[in-house]
Amino acid sequence: MEGKKKRLLVLYASQTGNAMDAAERVGREAEHGGCPSVEVLSMDHFDPNSLPNESAIVFVVSTTGQGDPPDSMKVFWRFLLRRNLGCSWLEGLHYAVFGLGDSGYQKYNFAAKKLDKRLQDLGARSIIEKGLGDDQHPSGYEGALDPWLMSLWKTLNHINPILLPEMSEILHPTMRKLEHPKFKIVYHASTEATQHDSHISDLKDVKNMIERARSMSPSLHGHDHGEPHYLLKMVKNEQLTKGDDGRNVRQFILEALASVIEYQVGDVLDVLPGQNSASVDAFVKRCKLDPDSYITIEPWSGEKDSLDEYVNGSSDHPIQLRTFISRAMDIASASPRRYFFEVMSYYASAEHEKEKLQYFASPEGRDDLYQYNQKEHRTVLEVLEDFSSVELPFEWLVQLVPPLKKRSFSISSSPLAHPNQVHLTVSVVSSVTPFKRNRYGLCSSWLAGLDPKKDGEVLVPSWIQRGTLPIPPPMVPLILIGPGTGCAPFKAFIEERAMQNLVEPTAPILFFFGCRTRDTDFLYKDFWLAQSSDEGVLSEKKGGGFYVAFSREQERKVYVQHKIREESARVWRLLDGGAAIYLAGSSTKMPADVTEALEEVVAKENCVSRESAARWLKTIEKAGRFNIETWS
C-alpha cells in the first residue's frame, strides 16, 4: 500500500436515500472502531481516476428499475468500463460491496453484482463476499447489513489493524458516545433577513426561495440544488377512474405562466410537493421551534471541507425556519432512519422511552423497529409524538429528518399537440398498514387535492428531466405495451405521431393496454378508440392496432401478455420490419411476464427455441429497440 491514502473511503450510489443512509452508518462505525480517517461520498462527487490511490473502499449501491444503477453512479460506471483500464489497474486496492435491492425484481441487486465483478476484473481484492440487502427481508435491507458489517470490521481489523485498530465500540454499541451533529444552526435578526424574504413578488422570487431552502439542506447533500425550471399553473384536475373500488387515477393539466415549456415526448416532470400546513405547525410546536425566526446552516468548525458543499453559500442568505421545514424536510410522509432512533435515545428523559429507543437501535431490536417504523410507514412527526419526552435539538433534526424529495411522473402529452402544456396521468397512492392505518402518497395526494376552480392560481414547482425512453423517429414501427398508468408516456407518443402524420407518412403502431374493466378504469378510452379507427395512427388501415386486456371482465384474468400472444403474427410482422418495443408500468411481475410472452412470439413465428428467442430480444435491447420504463 506504498503511496496509497491511509483512510477508509465509503462511496455510495443512492436513488431513494437508503444507500446513503447505509453508507453513513458504515462511516460512523468505522470512526467508532478508531479508523484514523474516514470519508463518505456520493459516487458522483468522486473522481474515478483516483481509485488506484486508495487503499480501502466500501461501496454501497442500490439497484433501480430493471437492474439499472442509480443516476449518481452512471458516470462512475461508464468510466470503469473503459477498455484501456488493465487487469492490474486496481492492484493493491481492498474493497467491499454492499448492494440494496428487492428480490421481487427480475434483476435483483444487479448494480452491486456487476460492480463487484468489474472491480475484481481490474485487479482489486475483495475484503469479504459482497452483501446483498433485500427489501423483502422481514427487517428490510438491514437484515443483511448488520451481519455483513460485523464480518467486514473483523476481517478489516485482521488484514489492516492500523486502519481499524479498535473493535470494542463496534462490537458493543452500548459503549458508544454520541458525537455532536455535523452542522450548526445560526439564527439571524429579522432585520438581517428582511431583504431576502419580505418582497417575494414574482415567480422568480418564489423559485429562488425554493432553491435557497433546498440548497441549505444537509440531507439533500448537494444533489437537489437549482431553481425549479417552471412554476406551472394547474388548469385541470380530472378523475379518470370510476366506481367505488378506491382506485383513483387522475389527469392533471399544467400550463406555463411566464415562459414556454420546452420538453420532448418521453420526458419526465419532477414535482416538488407541498406539505400540509397543519403538519408543519404540529412539527414546529412539538419541537418547540420559532417558525418566524431566520436561520442559516453551517458546518461545525473543524469539520471536513467537503461539508461546505452541502450548505453552499447558505450563510449569506438567511431563510425563515418555517419555510425551510416546509420546502426541505419531509416531516409527515417519509419514515425516519434507524440512526434517528439511536440519537433520540440520548435525548429521552423518560426512562421507559430511553430503553425502548435503545432497543430499537440495537441489533436485537432490528426486526421490531422494522415492524413499528417502515412496515407501518410511520412519519417523523408520528415518531416524535410517540416519544414525547425526547427533545431533539434542531441541529440534529435538520441532519436526520429525511429530505423532502421531488417525485417523478412520465409526461403524457406531446408538445406538438399541446403547446405550452404538460399533462400527467397519476395514480393517487393509498395503502393500509398491517395495523390497519391508512397511508397516502404525499405528492399524488397533494396534487389530487388542488382545485384550480376554487383555489385560484395553483402553482406547482417543476423540473423537466430527460426520461429513459428514447424518442422514436416517425418511420420506426412501434410496439407499445402500457397497462394501467403505464399508458402515460405512450399517450404522448401516439399524440406526437398523430401530429406528424398530418404532414408526413409515419410507421404503424401496435398498442397493448390493460385495465380491470371497460367501465371503471379504461383510461383515455375515447382517445385510443379515435386513433384506432379510420385514419388514426392505431388503425388497422395504417398497419397498426389497439388491443385491450380487461383483466376482471371474465372468470380467467386476462393481461397484456395474453393479448400479445393472441396477436403473435402481427407482433412479429412489425418486429421483423424493424419495430421498436416500448414497455412501461409496474416494475414487479409485469415486465418479466411481458418479456416471456415476447420470447414465445419470436420462438413461435421463427420456429426457434426459447433460448434463441431470448438471445434475439437481448440483441435488439442492446441496439436500442427494446426499452423499458418501470416504477414501483
Q: Which residues are annotated as a binding site for FMN?
A: 14-19, 62-65, 135
- Whole-Å CA distances, 350 to 174, 284, 356: 18, 21, 10
Residue ranges at the known binding site for FAD: 407-410, 441-444, 631
Closest to 94 measured CA to CA, from 121, 119, 60? 119
218 by Cβ neighbours in 10 Å (0-12 / 13-18 / 19+) ranks as buried
The overall longest dimension of the chain from CA atoms, in Å, is: 79
Q: What DSSP line would sit under 11-72, residue for residue?
A: EEE-SSSHHHHHHHHHHHHHHHTT-S-EEEEEGGGS-GGGGGGEEEEEEEEE-BTTTBPPGG
SS3 237: strand
Residue 243, phi-psi category: left (phi > 0), alpha (psi -120 to 50), beta (remainder): left
SS3 letters for 151-191?
HHHHHHHHHCCCCCCCCHHHHCHHHCCCCCCCEEEEEECHH
Q: Helix-strand-coil percent breakdown of the chain, rounded to 5?
A: 40, 20, 40
SS3 letters for 381-394?
HHHHHHCCCECCCH
Grid coordinates given for 215: 440548497
Instruction: Provide the pairing of β-strand 183-188 with 294-299.
Output: antiparallel
Please state, in angstroms and rounded to a whole number, the distance separating the CA atoms of residues 216 and 430.
31
R_g of the chain computed on alpha carbons = 26
CA atoms within 13 A on the CB side of 441: 18
Per this entry, what is the length of the chain? 632
Residues near 473 by Cβ (< 8 Å), separated by ≥ 6? none
CB 304 within 8 A of CB 39: yes
Which amino acid is it at 129? E
Residue ranges at the known binding site: 14-19, 62-65, 135, 407-410, 441-444, 485, 551-552, 557-561, 593, 631
Q: What is the dihedral of CA 469, 470, 476, 477, to 10 degrees?
A: 0
81-85, long-range: CB < 8 A, 24+ apart: 81/118, 85/122
SS3 429: coil
CB 342 within 8 A of CB 357: yes
Please state, in angstroms and rounded to a whole number, the distance separating the CA atoms of residues 523 and 514.
9
Please state, in angstroms and rounded to a whole number, the distance separating the CA atoms of residues 540 and 548.
15
Residue ranges at the known binding site for NADP(+): 485, 551-552, 557-561, 593
8-state DSSP, 348:
B
C-alpha angle 393/395/401, rounded to 5°?
Answer: 95
